[in-house]
Amino acid sequence: MAVRVRFDRNARYGASMVGVLFAAYLNIATNFDAFIQAENYAGVLGTDVPAVDVFEFLICLGLYVVSFAIFPTSGARRLGAVTLACVTLLLWATIGIERGVGNIVEPVGLWQFVTDQGMITLLVSLGGWLIVRERTPGAFVVLLLILIPPGASKLLIESSVTSGAYSLVTIGLVVILGLGGAWLAVSLDRRIRAGRARIAEAQPRK
């Protein structure tokens, strides 16, 4: 008799983790500029395939939503992570399209910063993971790591590196910061909880 495979808590955790990692990879590996260009100049450039670019964006968004939605945690936390993913990615796309058609111009530096692809990927992936993993509020300080990719992107552009090198460095940086931030949050979470436990034990019992 064949063994039945159950989609239990451990299976949901594993599937969610793989889904988030894959979504993050697609999110940083997909050329967001191509998506914006396809939306702005659909039907004008013969090499553009708008449907494909939109499909790639929706796949990334869908992977995040499904991955966070199946995570074995409370409904409120799943909803929080899904909301973060949807709001961030849809706003990102909207601002990018509006910038592409010239409706949003100044200040250029600010909009380049807030729409940085690496920062957005880390915010959704790492931020959503911290929410569903029920990390203590103090552990969310690791989200400061999302400020690194915009600075790195600016340095790479000013250094006139090739597009291939730019993509490889950006992908590698996001992967390292994402995994490193997740494990750093684990360490901070344990320290914070241990400190609270010691304080609770030190307090006199009534």
Alpha carbons 58 and 52: distance in angstroms, whole number:
10
Question: pLDDT at position 99, please?
Answer: 73
Q: Which two tokens stand for residue 195?
A: 């400190």
Domain spans, the chain = 9-202
| DSSP output for 84-133 | HHHHHHHHHHHHHHHHHTTS--SSHHHHHHHT-HHHHHHHHHHHHHHHHT
Question: pLDDT at position 7, please?
Answer: 65
Taking the model in full, what pTM does it have?
0.83
Question: pLDDT at position 1, please?
Answer: 47
Radius of gyration of the chain (CA): 20
User: Are the CB atoms for 68 and 81 separated by under 8 Å?
Assistant: yes
Question: pLDDT at position 81, please?
Answer: 93
> What phi and psi, each to the nearest 5 degrees, are found at residue 17?
-65, -45
Residue with tokens 């590698």: 172
Alpha carbons 114 and 157: distance in angstroms, whole number:
16
* Predicted confidence pLDDT, tens digits, the chain (206 residues): 455 657 677 888 888 999 999 888 888 887 666 556 555 555 444 555 566 677 788 888 999 999 999 998 888 999 999 999 999 998 888 887 777 666 777 787 777 788 888 889 999 999 999 999 988 888 889 999 999 988 888 888 778 777 777 778 888 888 899 899 999 998 888 888 887 777 777 776 65
Question: pLDDT at position 114, please?
Answer: 82
Alpha carbons 101 and 95: distance in angstroms, whole number:
10
Question: pLDDT at position 118, please?
Answer: 87
User: Are the CB atoms for 101 and 40 separated by under 8 Å?
Assistant: yes
